[in-house]
Amino acid sequence: MFRALAISFIICLSASMAIAQKAGNSGYCLMRVFDVNKFAASGSGFIGSRIIITFETGDQEIVELEPYNEKTEAENLKKVILTLNKLKEKGYLLMSANSTGEQGNIVTDYVLLKQAY
């Protein structure tokens, strides 16, 4: 009986360690998209159009975008979608998205969760 109990304990401990190890591989990522037209970007309070990704480790990646206008809107949207798809391939799942700002300066935040495998 003691042997069966010890084996059960070892199995439960191993499963708990595996779950804890998987949980250590997850975390949140923030992808912030700055959609800024050239006029607004020239002011002192705005930065240029870009995507800034901050990973759960604190590492960051920047993807440059063209200043927003009718001609660049489609290409910038393609870059946003390509970036979201790359994050999905890395195991991130989109949790929420929201936009704030005013005409000429829109900031969109995408919160993603890295799935533990």
As a whole number, mean pLDDT of residues 102-115 equals: 90
Contact by Cβ (8 Å): 29, 55: yes
Contact by Cβ (8 Å): 29, 114: yes
Over the stretch 25-81, which tens digit does the pLDDT of each residue have?
A: 789 999 999 988 766 545 555 678 999 999 999 999 999 999 888 898 899 999 999
pLDDT of the residue at 116: 78
Sheet holding 60-64, edge to edge: 60-64, 50-54, 27-36, 105-114, 92-102
pLDDT of the residue at 47: 77
User: Which residues contact residue 84 at a Cβ distance below 8 angstroms, ignoring those fewer than 6 apart?
Assistant: 31, 94, 110
Residue 101, pLDDT > 80, answer: yes
Average pLDDT, the chain: 80
Residue 22, pLDDT > 60, answer: no
Predicted TM-score (pTM) of the model is 0.73
Least confident of 2-6, 66-70, 109-113: 2-6
For residues 53 and 111, give the distance between their C-alpha atoms in angstroms, rounded to a whole number: 10
Helix (H) or strand (E) holding 78: helix 73-89
pLDDT of the residue at 3: 53
